[in-house]
Structure formats: structure tokens, C-alpha cells
Structure 1
Amino acid sequence: MRKLPRVVAHRGASAVEPEHTLAAYRRAIEFGADGLECDVRLTADGHLVCVHDRTIERTSNGQGVLSTMSLAQLESYDWGSWKRPWADLDENAGPTGADGRRVLTLETLLATVRDAGRPIELAIETKHPTRYAGRVERRLVEALDRFGWARPRPGTESPVRVMSFSWLSLRRMRTAAPGLRTVLLMDRIPLRFRDGSLPAGVSYAGPSLEIVTTQPDYVDKAQKHGHQVHVWTVNTENDVRHCRDLGVDAVISDRPDLALQVLAEDV
């Protein structure tokens, strides 16, 4: 039997909990996800926080550009009520405490992975362009160093991989922490990489679901070049089955519980 893809929770179990909150990641771990995915952005005072957008309006009750704000400012906002505005009135509606409403620092997420009680992968996406450019990667390496995950010892592997649509970001990571795995995210395949190859030093391919749907042969091409294929964002039963049948190595999903249930059909 072909090996089943690993299931990575996209921004946590973000279909059922507010994305990028500690509650979303804890729920994904409870579901049995093999890995977690997060985006990181740098605050004005140098903290990495797990937020996707450049501005904070969509996922908090604040306004403004994240990179101009301090961590203390971000912590003053509610990051969960947009998902379930009536949660306070329904004890079964979801998280009402800090885990579901407080901005999440990367440091807290790293500690959550460390303390999970079982091996958990963590895929960290650096968001670009940003006013801070290479400072993002420097801060990321510093954070991973505090957990011993930036420079794994010979014969060991860090649970962390770094993803980006920016090849420059991945190149910075390769220079600063050459032992870390990197993933080139793609919403289209550059012409020179359509044979399945990747830029020097990039470990894995990260194509969109649309790519592997319209160009299913890409998976085999990339794997023949020795690259794993991690597909985003895979949220329906049919799409999980499609990725399984193609033999992808990981699916990144807002619904890790659904993906795990579908893949369990093959066990």
C-alpha cells in the first residue's frame, strides 16, 4: 500500500476555531494532526506573531498595519470573536477564554509543539514582502535556536520546516540555518521548474491544490527529483482523496479532522 500523506493543520484547526489562536492549534493536536502550519509576521518591537494578513481587521477587532504595532498593542485586541461572535452566550460555541482570543506569539506555539507529548511537525511560513525584510528570518532563527531546532545535531532532524513564496526568504534561511528543511510555496509553477526541480537548497515543493488538480503529473515529477510534495489547502473529502491517489507527501488543511477521517479509510 502506498504511504498515506501526513496531515498538517492550516493555521491550526481553523475551520472550527479562530485561525492562528492557541485554541486552534490545541484542537488540531487533539484531532491527531501530524503537523501544524502557521504564518509569522514581525511586530514593531521585534516579536514574531502568528498572523496571516498584513493588516489586522479581518481577524481581530482592531485596525491597522501589524508591522507598525507593538506586541502589547496586539494583545489588547480580541482575535477570536470574529469567528463566533455569540460564543459568550453559548457554552458549546467554542473558546471564550484567552486561548481563543489572544494573539499568538511564535514562542508560545513552539512551546506548545515541544510539550505536545508526541512528535509534531511545524511548518512556518514567512510572509513577504515586509518592511523588515531579512529581520524576519533572523528573528525566526533566534527563536528556533532557543528550542534547539535551528541547527539540528548530526543524525537528527528539526521538527520545523520553513515555507515561503519568496525564494529570497528561503535563501536567507539556508544561509543562517542550513540544517533546516525549506518549502517553496507555489500558486503557479515557474517555467524552469516544471520538470519537478526546485531552486538549489530547497527541500520540498509546496504547490497549491489547483496546481496538482490541473497538472497532476507534477507530483510524480517532483518526487522523481527527490522532493516531497506538500499541497495546500485541501479541505474537501474529494480533494483529500485526490491528493492521496496522487501520492502527495502532506496535505495542509483547515479541516485536519476531516482529512484524517478520509485517510483512515485506507487503513
Structure 2
Amino acid sequence: MNVPPRPSARPLVVAHRGASDEEPEHTLRAYRKAFDHGADGVECDVRLTADHHLVCVHDRRVERTSNGAGVVSTLELARLEELDWASWKRGPGETETPEADPERGHLLTLRRLLDTLVATGEEVVTLIETKHPTRHGDDVEKTLVQVLRHFDLDRGDQPGRPHVRVMSFSARALQRVHKLSPAVPLVHLVEGIVPAMAIDGTLPKGIGAVGLDVRLVRRKPQVVERFRRHGHRVYVWTVDEERDMDLCCDLGVDVVITNRPGVAIDRMGVTG
């Protein structure tokens, strides 16, 4: 199979949980900041609440990024929306309260994020990672596909619409998405420490892209070419250091996922 061309003269820059180096992760303000910097797309993690709503939260528990306590999957959406999701990120001397800018501190649901992206009319790269293990099991992927169908985003890339890719470390989770909605592109995430056989360049059937931990790329840069020889696109996360941005450019990866989209775009250039 021929190696697919890179989509641009530089890797696409996707903002990891928004411009999360500057703003509270997974808030609408963080995503708006990413686009202010010129990001090509955004990434989010999704978890299912007790009453089956998909919310953009990375951790299993809420303590790190809110003023609440508990496990996301055991809390209902209404309770999660009562929490402050921004104050933990307040910098020295910063006095702004969540009430001054509700977008900064309000919980973000996947529906709200997709509604915002669809409204732009742009072909925004939109990476959605499902988190496992979870008490909800395959309900996460079932609900995700239902949400994508609601926004008519389950039929593959369309002009003037967000270009959605579903990501997971779980091959089984990706297979569930493929069975429910075969047109949605998938990305198999790979940790920094993996057996050699897991990075031979092949991917499970139906998966067209790999998401490599930047630590793995540093140690074994040849792995990028292995996947490209098999016709797969290569995404690298989380690329925050300038030396790693340079490395990704040199290796010809397709997408870099970063907490610092403004820095990445300045470093790698607008058009290469």
C-alpha cells in the first residue's frame, strides 16, 4: 500500500483538551483560545455520567479539575454542572471568578462542543477519545455514535463539517464504533512503553491511524515510518516541547496533539 501524503506542509496542530496550557482544560474558553491561535483542530476526552450524558472530562474522578468530589460515572449531569471547573487553573494574581466568564468554568458536554464546532461551518479536525475501563462498558461507544448521528457526523468527512475521529487505547472500543458506524475514522492510541510487536506498523482491521506517545517517538523514531509504510496516518501526543515539535516535522507525522497550539504553530510555521 502506498504511504498517504501528509495533509499539509507541516503536521496539523490539534489542541489537546483545548489550549490547556493557558486555560482550564475541556472548557469552551480553552477551545476558543485554541482557534484564536489558529489550531487546525481540537481533542477531547469523553466520559458517561450516571444519567448517560457524555461530558468532556479526562479523569475518572473530578477532584483534579473541579471543586467537587466523586467519580464521573456515578454522578448525574446536573450535579456535575454545579461544580466549578476553572478555579484550579487560576494563575498568580488572577482574580477573575467563574461568574465573570461562565464559559471558563462551566462543565462542557460533548453535545455543546459539537454544536459549537458545527456552527463554525469549518472542517475542524475533531478527535474524541473514549476512556476505559468504565462501569458503563460499551454504552460509552453506543452513546457516542448516537450523538454523532444527531449532528450528522457519523458518515465520514463532509464539506463544511467537523472531521471527527474517534480515538481509544482500547481496540475493542474502536471495534464497537466501527461496527456501529463504519464510516467514522478511528485512531488507535499507543502508550510509551509497549511490546515490540505492538509497534510493527500494523493496526487492527478498520483502523486507519495510530496515535503515538511522544516518548515512544523520541526513543524509536523509526516507528513512524513503519506505520506509514502500512498506509496508516500517524498522530503524536502530547507534543509540548519545541524539540519534539521539530522531531515531528522532521519525521513527517500527520498530526501533533499539543497543550500549546500557539507555540506549535509558531514553531512549525503556518504553511511549513
Q: TM-score range by the shorter chain?
A: over 0.9
**Residues 87, 51 of structure 1: CA spacing in aligned structure 2 closer, same or farther, 3 A cutoff?**
farther
CA distance in 2, matches of 1:146, 1:224: 36
Matched, 1:264 2:272: no
Specify which structure has the bigger relative contact order, considering alpha-carbon pairs within 8 angstroms and separated by 6 or more residues: 2
**One-letter identity of the residue aligned with 1:260:** I
Amino acid at match of 1:218: V
Could you say what secondary structure the match of 1:259 adopts?
helix
What amino acid is the match of 1:19?
E
Asked whether the 8 Å contact 1:8–1:252 carries over to 2, the reply is: yes
Give the structure 1 partner of residue 139 of structure 2. 135
Q: What amino acid does structure 1 have at the position aligned with 2:205?
A: A
Q: TM-score, normalised by structure 1?
A: 0.93
- CA separation in 1, counterparts of 2:46 and 2:109? 9
CA distance in structure 2 between the partners assigned to 1:156 and 1:183 by the alignment? 22
Query: Match of 2:136, SS?
Result: coil
C-alpha contact 2:81 2:106 (8 A) present in aligned 1: yes
Q: Which residue of 2 aligns with 1:83?
A: 89
Give the letter aligned to residue 70 of structure 1: E
The equivalent of 2:258 in structure 1 is 253
Matched to 1:184, the amino acid is H
In the alignment, structure 1 residue 197 sits paired with structure 2 residue 197: no
**Paired residues of 2:124 and 2:161 also in contact (CA < 8 A):** no
What amino acid does structure 1 have at the position aligned with 2:128?
A: I
Q: 1:90 & 1:98 partners in 2: Cα distance? A: 11
The 1-side partners of 2:43 and 2:85 are apart by 18
The CA distance in 2 between the partners of 1:27 and 1:123, in whole Å, is: 17
- Residues 45-86 of structure 1 deviation map (CA, whole Å, 9 limit, x = unaligned): 110000000000000000001111110000000000000066
Cα RMSD after superposing both structures:
2.3
Identify the residue that residue 19 of structure 2 maps to in structure 1: 13
Alignment partner, residue 167 of structure 1: 171
**Kept after mapping to 2: 8 A contact 1:87/1:95:** no
Q: Deviations over 1:176-210 (max 9, x none)?
A: 01001111101134433332111111110111001
Indicate the residue corresponding to 2:40 in structure 1.
34
Per-residue CA deviation, residues 1-50 of structure 1 (Å, 9 max, x unaligned), is: 98310000000000000000010011111111011000000000110000
Give the 3-state SS of the residue equivalent to 1:89 in structure 2. Answer: coil
* 8 Å contact kept, 2:166–2:184: yes
Q: 1:95 to 1:162 in 2, by over 3 A?
A: farther
Q: Distance in 2 between matches of 1:75 and 1:6?
A: 32
Q: Does 1:176 align with 2:180?
A: yes
Residue equivalent to 1:119? 123
- Counterpart for residue 3 of structure 2: none
* Residues 55 and 87 of structure 1, relative CA distance in 2, 3 Å threshold: farther
1:98: which partner in 2? 102
1:242 aligns with 2:247: yes
Match of 1:222 in 2: 227
Q: What TM-score do you get using the length of structure 2 for normalisation? A: 0.91
Q: Which amino acid aligns with 1:46?
A: H
Tell me the distance in 1 between the aligned counterparts of 2:114 and 2:160.
18
C-alpha contact (below 8 Å) 1:88/1:96 kept by paired residues: no
Give the Cα–Cα distance (whole angstroms) in 2 for the partners of residues 17 and 121 of structure 1.
20
Helix, strand or coil at the partner of 1:122? strand
Letter aligned with residue 81 of structure 1: S
**Matches of 1:84 and 1:154, distance apart in 2:** 38
One-letter identity of the residue aligned with 1:243? C
Cα distance in 2 between the residues matched to 1:154 and 1:16: 31
| Superposition deviation, residue 89 in structure 1 | 2.4
Deviation at 1:157, TM superposition (A): 8.7
Q: Structure 2: how far apart are the matches of 1:236 and 1:95?
A: 34
Structure 2: 5+ residue stretches without partners: 1-5
Q: 1:261 to 1:88 in 2, by over 3 A?
A: closer
